[in-house]
Amino acid sequence: DVKVTQSSRYLVKRTGEKVFLECVQDMDHENMFWYRQDPGLGLRLIYFSYDVKMKEKGDIPEGYSVSREKKERFSLILESASTNQTSMYLCASSFGRVHTDTQYFGPGTRLTVL
């Protein structure tokens, strides 16, 4: 079974802190995604990576950056956390064709910024 793990289930940070969220997948998938999930808004794509060191902005990249130095690991960085970044963050991976292949999701990190 594909396994996608996220470094923390719950995280509490203060405004202005630099925050790292890490995601690891164990199935050699090319594609990795970071989403933000807010009630009534569904999932919104923050960043997408289709290969090591390759990234693409999603719909809401402002205030975020990403890093993919190894194929299995995709990190989301909040450069200076703000209260409006309090949310559930979901990581996903998929094998090849972005638009037809199944995405496999991690359990999520619930981030609270005080």
Partner 1 sequence: AQSVTQLDSHVSVSEGTPVLLRCNYSSSYSPSLFWYVQHPNKGLQLLLKYTSAATLVKGINGFEAEFKKSETSFHLTKPSAHMSDAAEYFCVVSAPGYSSASKIIFGSGTRLSIRP
Cα separation, 42 vs 19, in Å, equals 23
# of chain residues touching partner 1 (CB under 8 A) = 28
45: buried, middle or exposed (CB in 10 Å: 19+, 13-18, 0-12)?
middle
Q: How many alpha carbons fall within 13 Å on the CB side of residue 9? A: 1
44 binds partner 1 (CB under 8 A): yes
Out of 25, 75, 87, 103, the residue judged to bind partner 1 by CB under 8 A: 103
Is there binding between residue 108 and partner 1 (CB under 8 A)?
yes
* Residue ranges binding partner 1 (CB under 8 A): 4, 31, 33, 35, 40-45, 48, 50, 56-59, 90, 92, 97-100, 102-103, 105-108
